[in-house]
């Protein structure tokens, strides 16, 4: 899954693709690199990010979805806003990716009566403050329980189990130890039976390991994506598609 951020403030590529034409061109280059799907987002959720209004997010996201709807790969829209979820699905989005796990009032209902997939991500707290004091008794058990309960809530409003995707939410209200434990134990998430999405690309947990700035985390990101897939991830959300594809191709060749 290639990341298309139509934002001025995303942590790794903020401002680069804010213009609709630039975002669409970037999306097409990710497809040419081998992205099997794209995730279009109009609101940064990095630690400390400020929320954007519905109008602004809509203005960023919908024209990009409309321009790419026939691009040949499924489109995911990264949003927490029920109105935009509905509009994105109507515009042809195949998945809604919600870092808030469809907890906003009306979010589940906005997508339930469509055929779109729903990606439920775990986070603790809100982006503005989530990295201040993340705390868990047992991070793996708590995140598993949370995702199980959100999947049950979706199924209770009529969403078929085969439309669900789950994501432990790396970096969203988690310390380094929490993130590493979740990556190490990712197989337990896959064992729940829903496809697991892992978003590790260029994140600060990789900066902490390597000592590298965000623009220099490609190798670490590729390693992390490969480990995630080996541990059961079905989808890896990445900025560096070509490099990730190559690493996965090597792994696949050996496996097969």
- The only residue of 2, 4, 6, 10 in contact with ligand HH2, by rule CB under 6 A: 10
> Judged by CB under 6 A, how many residues of this single chain contact ligand HH2?
21
Q: Which residues are catalytic?
A: 203, 237
Query: 140: closest CA among 100, 172, 181?
Result: 181
- The only residue of 23, 40, 44, 146 in contact with ligand HH2, by rule CB under 6 A: 44
- The only residue of 40, 101, 118, 121 in contact with ligand HH2, by rule CB under 6 A: 121
Site map for ligand HH2, 144-163, x if CB under 6 A?
--------------------
Residue of this chain nearest to ligand HH2 (CB atom): 199
CB of 154 to ligand HH2, least distance (A): 15
Nearer to ligand HH2, 56 or 252 (CB): 56
- List, in order, residues 6 or more apart from 127 with CB less than 8 Å away: 44, 45, 46, 47, 48, 49, 172
Give the burial string for 35-64 (b: 16+ CB within 10 Å, else e). Answer: bebbbbbbbbbbbebeebeeeebbebbbbb
Q: Where are the beta strands (DSSP E) in 52-204?
A: 75-78, 95-98, 117-121, 164-167, 197-198
Annotate 175-235 with DSSP letters as a single string.
-HHHHHHHHHTHHHHHTTSSPBEE--TT-HHHHHHH---GGG-HHHHHHHHHHHHHTT-SE
State the helix-helix crossing angle for 82-90 and 54-68, rounded to 10 degrees: 20
The reply to whether 197 sits near ligand HH2 by the rule CB under 6 A is: yes
Binders in 173-192 for ligand HH2, by CB under 6 A: none
CB of 58 to ligand HH2, least distance (A): 16
Choices 2-10, 19-27, 140-148, 218-226; region in contact with ligand HH2 by CB under 6 A = 2-10
Cα separation, 115 vs 99, whole angstroms: 20
Binders in 55-84 for ligand HH2, by CB under 6 A: 78
Contact predicate 38/4, CB 8 Å: yes
Nearer to ligand HH2, 2 or 82 (CB): 2
Choices 1-9, 60-68, 153-161, 205-213; region in contact with ligand HH2 by CB under 6 A = 1-9
- Please give the residue ranges that form the binding site for ligand HH2 (CB under 6 A): 3, 5, 7, 10-12, 41, 44-46, 78, 97, 99, 119, 121, 167, 169-170, 197, 199, 237
């Amino acid at each position: 899954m290639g990341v298309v951020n139509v934002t001025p403030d995303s942590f790794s590529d903020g401002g680069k693709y804010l213009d609709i034409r630039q975002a669409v061109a970037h999306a097409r280059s990710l497809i040419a690199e081998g992205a099997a799907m794209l995730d279009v987002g109009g609101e940064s959720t990095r630690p400390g990010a400020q929320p954007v209004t519905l109008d602004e997010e809509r203005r960023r996201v919908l024209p990009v979805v409309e321009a790419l709807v026939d691009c040949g790969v499924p489109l995911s829209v990264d949003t927490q806003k029920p109105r935009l979820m509905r509009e994105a699905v109507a515009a042809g989005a195949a998945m809604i990716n919600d870092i808030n796990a469809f907890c906003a009032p009306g979010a589940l209902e906005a997508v339930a009566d469509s055929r779109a997939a729903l990606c439920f991500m775990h986070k603790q707290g809100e982006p503005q403050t989530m990295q201040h004091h993340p705390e868990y008794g047992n991070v793996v058990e708590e995140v598993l329980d949370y995702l199980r309960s959100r999947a049950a809530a979706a199924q209770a409003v009529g969403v078929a189990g085969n439309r669900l995707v789950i994501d432990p939410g790396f970096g969203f209200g988690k310390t380094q130890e929490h993130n590493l434990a979740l990556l190490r134990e990712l197989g337990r998430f896959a064992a729940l039976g829903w496809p697991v999405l892992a978003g590790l690309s260029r994140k600060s947990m990789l900066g902490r390991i390597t000592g590298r700035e965000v623009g220099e985390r490609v190798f670490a990101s590729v390693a992390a994506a490969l480990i995630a897939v080996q541990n059961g991830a079905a989808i890896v959300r990445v900025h560096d598609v070509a490099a990730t594809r190559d690493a996965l191709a090597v792994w696949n060749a050996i496996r097969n």
